Structure 1
Amino acid sequence: MWFILALFSSLTFGLAGFMMKISSHHKGSNNYLLLGLYVSGAMGFLWWMLHTGATLFTWPVVLFGLVIGIGSAAGNLLFMKALEVGPASLTAPLTNSNILLTVIMSILLYQETISWTEMIGVILLVAAISLLPIDPNENLRIRNISWYGLVLTATLLFFLRNGGLKITEELHLPGATILFVSYVVGIAWFGISILRDRPEPPRTRAIGWWWGLGAGVFSFAGLQIYSIALSKGPASIIAPIFATNSLVVALLSILIYRERLSWMQRLCLLLLFAGLILIRM
């Protein structure tokens, strides 16, 4: 059951990522996109909290929600800044390595055990995720030393989000309430950014806002399903499967925008399917 949930969480979260790509394709505002995402996502988690009765705002719940929210919002901000000063072909794979930190934590701290075939499957999934952003034609020279600090900090912040959800599941804290708090952090973060920055054109704001609202619905669904999957199965396998949502975005981009499938993307898909097969053997 947890394997199906992990796959579905990747697919659903990938749809959120694709909506963000659509907004970018139509020159939508990033600030309004992310504000819309966090608003509709927070409403989704609020509905789930009321539906399940998990509305207990204890200090541990609020604290973990703040940490996970800061990890998500600040991680995305530093990731975008790293892309401005360094090559995407190195930035994206290195920040994606936060998945390995979650796997290592789950094995060492929570004594999760996985078979050799599952381990090889996880390695293939991580390889697929890491190779996907690589552009063989991109200049990989690092000209700004700040790039190293930005990438390292962004990686650790993303680990606060992904690893934090594993820790809260082990502590039997309500995942929906924690994620609701984390999305409220995102609303405050990008709301302040909009008030602080120069006003953007109405059309740009509208594109970002409406696609963000749509993305937030799928973001809520993906993370909630991921949280449920973590409560039923090993994070050392579920986390890498969830992280393949970037491949979902790539496939939808190929189908909708007729983007050509490069040899690197073909290799990533081959690694993806091989990894999933080995995990289920």
Structure 2
Amino acid sequence: MWLTYSVFAAICFGLRGILYHWTSQKPLSRNLLLCGTFTMGAIINGICALVFSSNWTVAALIGIQMGLFSFGANASMFKGFAVGKASLVAILTALPSVVVVIVAFGLWQEKLHAMQLIAFIVIIGGVLLVRMSNDISLRNLQGAQWGLLAMLLFAANDLSGKWSTLMEAELFPTMFFMFVTGAACFGIWCLKDLQKERAQQVKSLQYGGGGEVRVSEHAASAAGAVGQVGWSSKRTFLVGLAIGITNAVGMMFIVTAFDLGKAGLVSAVTALNVLIVLLYTRFVVKEKFTRTEVTGITLAFAGILLMRLFGA
């Protein structure tokens, strides 16, 4: 069953990736959007915890750690995309499962038998081919440090999820703490952006020549901090709430999969969410597949088949 839950998680995260791709083309505040995404996760899991009378144990506080890791991973990834090479950052963020396999073996002695290891390598190889770019070289590694940090933090988030199952923390309270923590972090960041822009407006009024023009420019910049022109703060936050549904359901599936299966294998299968995004770009955005991408997709599905046959 762990494989089924992992595939469902990959589908949910793939849908989330599609919505992230769509919103990345819109004039909005990324921090406010993610604040809404995490807020919806907190609402859904909080309601589920009450409906199913979940036990709020100390172990559920692991969710706070998960929230911090998730916040740091997303922030590092977006920073890498902003200052470095997107393809390189994308490749690095496809590798958390490698870290998860190594650490899970060291911490919990989770071993992969021969066919599981082969399936794991095939899946990771397919994901890497899908994300690989022909223009990456040793001379073109901008943003590598942020991509590497994001990779480690995503892996830490997965390992924390596995740890919560080993500590027998109930799902909904753990997820509630995770999403509340993430929402708070992105909300604080968003407020800091807004305060910074308002301070710039005041400074331009006091010291800037051509005051009205400068104020107008900074007002537009301030709008960028919390929902740029055309996207109000309310609209941005509401769209974030909608995206949060896919994120919350995906996290429920992946943590359940961690409870039933090995952390490294679950993490590897979930990484296939990139294929969902790729299919979207092919059939909706009308981008053509390269031979490398086709090969990667074929390998990824072959790995899933191997996992299905020999994953037990």
SS at match of 2:266: helix
Q: Deviations over 1:233-269 (max 9, x none)?
A: 2223111111111221111222222121122221111
SS at match of 2:27: coil
* 2:153 alignment counterpart: 157
In structure 2, relative to structure 1, the CA distance for the partners of 1:28 and 1:138 (3 Å cut) is farther
In structure 2, relative to structure 1, the CA distance for the partners of 1:191 and 1:202 (3 Å cut) is farther
Pairwise CA RMSD: 2.1
User: 1:23, 1:208 within 8 Å by CA — same for their partners in 2?
Assistant: no
SS at match of 1:204: coil
* 1:179 alignment counterpart: 175
User: 1:87, 1:140 within 8 Å by CA — same for their partners in 2?
Assistant: no
Measured in 2, the distance between the counterparts of 1:98 and 1:251 equals 22
SS at match of 1:131: helix
Q: Deviations over 1:96-119 (max 9, x none)?
A: 322111122333432334332221
Q: Does 1:34 align with 2:34?
A: yes
* 2:64 alignment counterpart: 66
User: 1:16, 1:219 within 8 Å by CA — same for their partners in 2?
Assistant: yes
Instruction: Give the Å deviation of 1:43.
Output: 0.9
Which amino acid in 2 is paired with 1:155? M
Number of residue pairs aligned between Structure 1 and Structure 2: 277
* 2:286 alignment counterpart: 258
Percent of aligned positions with the same letter in both sequences? Answer: 26
Q: Deviations over 1:93-150 (max 9, x none)?
A: 2233221111223334323343322211111111222232222246763476xx4543
- Equivalences for residues 36-185 of structure 1 within 5 A: 36-58=36-58, 60-62=59-61, 64-137=62-135, 141-142=139-140, 147-185=143-181
Which range moved further: 21-30 or 216-225? Answer: 21-30
User: 1:106, 1:112 within 8 Å by CA — same for their partners in 2?
Assistant: yes
In structure 2, relative to structure 1, the CA distance for the partners of 1:55 and 1:204 (3 Å cut) is farther
Which amino acid in 2 is paired with 1:126? I
Q: Equivalent of 1:275, from 292, 296, 303?
A: 303
* 1:244 alignment counterpart: 272
Q: Deviations over 1:181-208 (max 9, x none)?
A: 1111121112122222133235234553
Which amino acid in 2 is paired with 1:19? L
Measured in 1, the distance between the counterparts of 2:149 and 2:26 equals 30
In structure 2, relative to structure 1, the CA distance for the partners of 1:202 and 1:240 (3 Å cut) is same
Instruction: Give the Å deviation of 1:48.
Output: 2.1
Q: With structure 1 as the length reference, what TM-score do the two structures score?
A: 0.90
User: 2:73, 2:153 within 8 Å by CA — same for their partners in 1?
Assistant: yes
Measured in 1, the distance between the counterparts of 2:77 and 2:187 equals 19
Measured in 1, the distance between the counterparts of 2:51 and 2:277 equals 30
* 2:17 alignment counterpart: 17
Q: With structure 2 as the length reference, what TM-score do the two structures score?
A: 0.81
Which amino acid in 2 is paired with 1:204? W
In structure 2, relative to structure 1, the CA distance for the partners of 1:184 and 1:90 (3 Å cut) is same
SS at match of 1:53: coil
Instruction: Give the Å deviation of 1:270.
Output: 0.6
* 1:212 alignment counterpart: 240
Measured in 2, the distance between the counterparts of 1:128 and 1:211 equals 32
Measured in 2, the distance between the counterparts of 1:113 and 1:157 equals 22
Structure 1 regions of 5+ residues with no counterpart?
Answer: none
Measured in 2, the distance between the counterparts of 1:8 and 1:23 equals 23
Measured in 1, the distance between the counterparts of 2:258 and 2:100 equals 12
Q: Does 1:8 align with 2:43?
A: no
Which amino acid in 2 is paired with 1:34? L
Which range moved further: 216-225 or 125-134? Answer: 125-134
User: 2:37, 2:244 within 8 Å by CA — same for their partners in 1?
Assistant: yes
Which range moved further: 119-128 or 149-158? Answer: 149-158
- Equivalences for residues 191-230 of structure 1 within 5 A: 191-197=187-193, 198=197, 199-200=222-223, 201=228, 203-205=230-232, 208-230=236-258
